[in-house]
Chains A and B, each alone.
Chain A
C-alpha cells in the first residue's frame, strides 16, 4: 500500500463522482456531505487522460486525496528478457481461466497475489510465447469458426484494462465501497483480498445488464455478416466474449462483497440472476431532500368543482421516456376534458429527430392548443399548478420525478418499470398501508394511461387521498437524512469489524 494514511471509507468509482455529473454522482455527493464525521477517499476510474478531469461538484472537506486511474491510456510495457512467466504460474493462469469458465472463482485470490508480486509481467502477457499458446488453446484452433484476428484483439481489449487494475496501489481504508461491479468492482475485490477489510457494493443500475445492452448494440464489436442479417437476436461470439467478461467481473464482486445494497426489488432480482447471494442483498431506496418540495401544494387543497386541469411530464424528450405513448394518452384525456393544459418539461435537443416526431404527433392528434414543450425548466416553478404527473418510461431505476411528485402532494401515473410501483403503492407492509399515491399502468399502453389520468382528475376524493399518501410516504421512507443515517450505521458497523481472512 502506497501510503500509511488510513481513511475511513474508500469509494471505488467508475466514470462518476466527482468528474461526471449525474444521478449516481449526486447521490455520492450527498452521502459524503451527509456524514462529515467520516473521511472519504476514492479511486476514480476514468476512460482516458485525454479528456479533462474537472470537478463537477463542490466536493466536501471530508473527501480527500482521490486517485485517478485511466482505463484506456496507453501503457508503458517495460521489457526485461529475464522476467518470464514460470511454467508453474502459467499453469495456474490456465487453470484459473478454465475454472472461471465454470463460474468457479476460488483461484482469484491467488491470481491477485501473483499479479501483485509481478509474476505476470505485461510484456510477457502480451508478447510472450507462453501467453500466446494459452490464447490459441482457449480459442480452440481446431474447432473454432470465428475470425481469429478479432478474437486476438478482443482478447487484448478485454484483458488490458484488467491487467491495469491488478497492480494498482490502493489507499488504506477501514471499509471499501464500490458503487458498481465491473472495473471498480474488480478494484474492490483486489482491496478485499489484499487488505482483509470488508467490501461493500451499492448498485443503482445493474452494471452487467447495462453492459449487455451496450455491447449488443455496439457496432465496433465484430460480428459475422450472416449473423447480423439473421432475424433472431443471437449475439456474435465477440459480444459474448465481452459480456462473459463483465458477468465474471460481476460475479467476483458479488462474491467478495460483504453486503450488497440496491434501490428496489427489481434490481435485487437481477442481481440474484447474475449470481449474487440473496442473503447479502438489502434494499435501501434513495432519499430526497424534503425542503424543496414539501408544501408546494397545500394539504387542505380543495379539489371539488375543478374544471381546468394541468398535466405534467418531467423528462428528456427521448425514446426511452416514450413521450409518444404519453401524447396518445393525452388525446384520450382531451376528448373527455375540455380545459386541459399539458406541459412536457425537459430538454428537447438531445434527440432532435425524436423531438421532431413528437411535434408531428401533436399536430396529427390536434393537440397543438393543449401540449406545450417547455424545454429545460425548474420543475418547482410548475409543480404547484399541476394536477397529475405522468411518467411513461420504458426503463427506469428509481425515478426522482415520482419521489418529487409524492413529496409535492401531486398524484402520479407511471408505467410499471423500476421501482415505480413501490413508490406509488408502497414497498413494505407499513408502506402499503398508507395507500396508493398514484396509479401504475402497463408499459407503452396509451389507453390505460389515459384512463388512469382521467380517473385521478375526475375524482377529487381519490386525488386528495393520494396526495396525502404521497407526502406521508416520502416523509416516512424516503427522507435523505434517513438514508444518510442508514449508510452511516452501515459504515460504522463494518469499520469496527475485524480484518477478514
Chain B
C-alpha cells in the first residue's frame, strides 16, 4: 500500500514537471513568435524593393517564403509537442544527458523526411534548378530552427533566442539585398537563406554549449509517439488549422498562379499576415502572467493537496486560481481588445501605409478580430495544457481545423465581401469551445486531478 499519492507528489516534487508545463507554453510561443519575425522581414523586404526587381520575382520570393514557413510549421508540428514532453519527463528523472541524443535523433528524422517532402513538393514548380535547391535548403533550415527552439526552451534563454532572430533576420534582409545584384532572384533567396542559417547555427551553438554530448541515436523517444499520440496530432493539426484557410485560398477561383504551381492569393494573404502582427503584446503579457501569477496559484493549489490540507482550504486556493485566471483574461481582453479596436479604426491609414489595396480594408478589419480570437484561443489551449488535458486540446484542435475548413469554403462560395469571416468565425467557435472546456475543467479540477490517478 505504499506509494500513496505518488503521481500527485510527482506533480509537485520537481520544478521539472512545471518546466514541462512552461515548455508547452514555449512550444506555443515558438509557433507564433519567430514567424512574426518573418512577416516583419517580408514587410521590410517588400517595402524597399530594387529597381529592376520585377513584381513577378517579388511574388515568387514572397510566396516561397510563405510556403516554407507554413509547411515547416505544419510539418514539424507532429514532433514538436511529443519531444517537448519527452524532454520534460527525462529532465524530471534527472537525465539531462539525453538532450543532445534526442536532438540528433529528431534532427535526423526532420531532415530525412523533410528532405523527401520538400524535394517532392517543389519538384513540379517551374523554377530554376538552383532556386529549387536553395528553397529545399531553406525549408530544412527553417524546420531545424523550429526543432532547435524546442530543445532550447528547456534552457529558457529568451534573450539568446531573441538575439539570434534579430541578428539572423537582419542578415536575411542584408544578404538578400547584397546578393540580388550578383545572382538575381536566386541570390536574393540565397541571401535570405544565409540569414536563416545564422539563426539556426546561433541557436545550435547555444544548445551545444548548454548540454553534454551523448549518444547519437535514441530509440526510446519513439515510444512517446505512441504513448502521447494526441500530442503528435495536436501539434500537426493545430498548425494546419492556423494555416488551412490561407492554403485553401491559394486554390480559390480568384487566386493567382505565380509560376506553375506556386499559387498565391493577393487579396487574402496580406491583411491576414498584417493582422497577425497585432497579437505580439498579448503573447508577451500572457507569457509573463502565466509564468508568474498563474504558476504560483497552480503550485499552491497542488501544494495544499499534497500537504494534507482539508478540501475546503484546497477549494479556497482554487478560487484564487480562478479569479486570477479571470483577471488575466480580462486584462488580455482589455489590452488586446483596445489594440485591435485601435487598429480597426486606423485600418484606412494602415492600408495606405503598407501599400495594400483599399478594397482589402474590410478584410483587414475582420482579420484583426480573428487574430484577437486566435490569440485568446492559444491562451485557452495553454491553460488546458497546464492541466495536461490532452484529449480536450485535441478536441479543440479538431474543431478549429474542421470549422476553419468548412467556414472558409463557405466564404469562398459567398464571395469576396465575406472573405476572412470564415477564419474569424472558426476562431470564435473554437475559442468558445475551448473556453467551455477550460471553465469545466477548472470547475472539476479536483475530480480530474484525483480520478485520473492510477490505482497503483
* A75-B455, A152-B450 as given contacts; A147 in contact with B2, CB under 8 Å: no
Complex: how many Å from CA A356 to CA B450? 48
Taken residue by residue from 417 to 447, chain B's Cβ proximity to chain A (1 for < 8 Å, 0 otherwise) reads as: 0000000000000000000000000001011
Determine whether A222 belongs to the interface, using a CB cutoff of 8 Å to chain B.
yes
Within 367-416 of A, Cβ neighbours of B (below 8 Å) are at none
Residue of B nearest to A156 (CB): B455
Complex: how many Å from CA A267 to CA B311? 41
Which of A126, A136, A147, A156 contacts B308, CB < 8 Å? A147
* CB-based contact A150/B4 at 8 Å: yes
Which of A74, A127, A128, A220 contacts B456, CB < 8 Å? A74
Segment touching B, from A137-145, A206-214, A253-261, A309-317:
A137-145
The winner among A132, A150, A160 for most chain B CB atoms within 10 A is A132
* CB-based contact B311/A160 at 8 Å: no
Determine whether A496 belongs to the interface, using a CB cutoff of 8 Å to chain B.
no
B171 to chain A, nearest CB (A): 53
* CB-based contact A127/B452 at 8 Å: yes
* CB-based contact B311/A148 at 8 Å: yes
* CB-based contact A222/B311 at 8 Å: no
Complex: how many Å from CA A67 to CA B450? 34
* A132-B450, A146-B310 as given contacts; A160 in contact with B315, CB under 8 Å: no
B448 to chain A, nearest CB (A): 9
The winner among B8, B308, B446 for most chain A CB atoms within 10 A is B308
Complex: how many Å from CA A142 to CA B312? 6
* CB-based contact A157/B1 at 8 Å: yes
* A141-B315, A149-B5 as given contacts; A127 in contact with B451, CB under 8 Å: yes
Determine whether B305 belongs to the interface, using a CB cutoff of 8 Å to chain A.
yes
Taken residue by residue from 336 to 366, chain B's Cβ proximity to chain A (1 for < 8 Å, 0 otherwise) reads as: 0000000000000000000000000000000
* CB-based contact A141/B452 at 8 Å: no
Taken residue by residue from 80 to 116, chain A's Cβ proximity to chain B (1 for < 8 Å, 0 otherwise) reads as: 0000000000000000000000000000000000000
Work out how many contacts link A and B, with CB atoms closer than 8 A.
58
* CB-based contact A126/B309 at 8 Å: no
Taken residue by residue from 1 to 40, chain B's Cβ proximity to chain A (1 for < 8 Å, 0 otherwise) reads as: 1101100100000000000000000000000000000000
Determine whether A55 belongs to the interface, using a CB cutoff of 8 Å to chain B.
no
* CB-based contact A220/B2 at 8 Å: yes
Determine whether B395 belongs to the interface, using a CB cutoff of 8 Å to chain A.
no
Determine whether A77 belongs to the interface, using a CB cutoff of 8 Å to chain B.
yes
Determine whether B314 belongs to the interface, using a CB cutoff of 8 Å to chain A.
yes
B299 to chain A, nearest CB (A): 16
* CB-based contact B451/A126 at 8 Å: yes
B366 to chain A, nearest CB (A): 39
Complex: how many Å from CA A142 to CA B316? 11
Which chain B residues border A224 with CB–CB below 8 Å?
308
Residue of A nearest to B444 (CB): A129
Within 315-330 of B, Cβ neighbours of A (below 8 Å) are at 315
Determine whether A487 belongs to the interface, using a CB cutoff of 8 Å to chain B.
no
* CB-based contact A220/B5 at 8 Å: no
Which chain A residues border B309 with CB–CB below 8 Å?
147-148
Complex: how many Å from CA A148 to CA B304? 10
Determine whether A57 belongs to the interface, using a CB cutoff of 8 Å to chain B.
no
Determine whether B221 belongs to the interface, using a CB cutoff of 8 Å to chain A.
no
Complex: how many Å from CA A142 to CA B1? 29
* CB-based contact A147/B444 at 8 Å: no
B390 to chain A, nearest CB (A): 16
* CB-based contact A128/B455 at 8 Å: no
Complex: how many Å from CA A149 to CA B312? 12
A450 to chain B, nearest CB (A): 45
* CB-based contact A149/B305 at 8 Å: yes
A122 to chain B, nearest CB (A): 9
* CB-based contact A126/B310 at 8 Å: no
Complex: how many Å from CA A72 to CA B5? 17
Complex: how many Å from CA A144 to CA B312? 8
B251 to chain A, nearest CB (A): 38
Taken residue by residue from 134 to 174, chain A's Cβ proximity to chain B (1 for < 8 Å, 0 otherwise) reads as: 00100101101111111011001100100000000000000
Determine whether B43 belongs to the interface, using a CB cutoff of 8 Å to chain A.
no
A46 to chain B, nearest CB (A): 16
Determine whether B41 belongs to the interface, using a CB cutoff of 8 Å to chain A.
no
Complex: how many Å from CA A220 to CA B4? 9
Within 2-23 of A, Cβ neighbours of B (below 8 Å) are at none
A275 to chain B, nearest CB (A): 27
* CB-based contact B444/A148 at 8 Å: no
* A153-B4, A153-B5, A220-B2 as given contacts; A148 in contact with B310, CB under 8 Å: yes
B5 to chain A, nearest CB (A): 5
* A150-B4, A150-B308 as given contacts; A132 in contact with B315, CB under 8 Å: no
Complex: how many Å from CA A15 to CA B1? 17
A241 to chain B, nearest CB (A): 13
Determine whether B42 belongs to the interface, using a CB cutoff of 8 Å to chain A.
no
Which of A126, A141, A142, A148 contacts B455, CB < 8 Å? A126
The winner among A72, A156, A160, A220 for most chain B CB atoms within 10 A is A156
Complex: how many Å from CA A149 to CA B450? 8
Which chain A residues border B315 with CB–CB below 8 Å?
141
* A145-B310, A149-B5, A149-B8 as given contacts; A77 in contact with B305, CB under 8 Å: no
* A129-B444, A132-B447, A148-B305 as given contacts; A74 in contact with B455, CB under 8 Å: yes
B394 to chain A, nearest CB (A): 16
Which chain A residues border B447 with CB–CB below 8 Å?
129, 132
Complex: how many Å from CA A147 to CA B303? 12
Residue of B nearest to A128 (CB): B451
Complex: how many Å from CA A486 to CA B442? 64
Residue of A nearest to B314 (CB): A148
Determine whether B252 belongs to the interface, using a CB cutoff of 8 Å to chain A.
no
Determine whether B233 belongs to the interface, using a CB cutoff of 8 Å to chain A.
no
Complex: how many Å from CA A84 to CA B133? 58
Determine whether B306 belongs to the interface, using a CB cutoff of 8 Å to chain A.
yes
* CB-based contact B311/A141 at 8 Å: yes
Which chain A residues border B306 with CB–CB below 8 Å?
149
* CB-based contact A77/B451 at 8 Å: no
Residue of B nearest to A73 (CB): B456
The winner among B1, B309, B446 for most chain A CB atoms within 10 A is B1
A116 to chain B, nearest CB (A): 21
Taken residue by residue from 255 to 287, chain B's Cβ proximity to chain A (1 for < 8 Å, 0 otherwise) reads as: 000000000000000000000000000000000
Which chain B residues border A77 with CB–CB below 8 Å?
455
Interface residues of chain B, those whose CB is within 8 Å of chain A, are 1-2, 4-5, 8, 305-306, 308-312, 314-315, 444, 446-447, 450-452, 455-456
In the complex, besides A145-B310, A147-B309, 6 extra interface pairs with C-beta distance below 8 angstroms are: A74-B456, A126-B451, A136-B446, A141-B312, A148-B314, A148-B446
**Pairs A-B, 9 closest by C-beta atoms:** A147-B308, A148-B311, A153-B4, A141-B311, A127-B451, A132-B447, A74-B456, A145-B310, A149-B305
Q: List 10 A-B contacts (CB under 8 A).
A: A74-B455, A129-B447, A139-B311, A144-B310, A147-B309, A147-B310, A148-B311, A148-B314, A220-B2, A222-B308
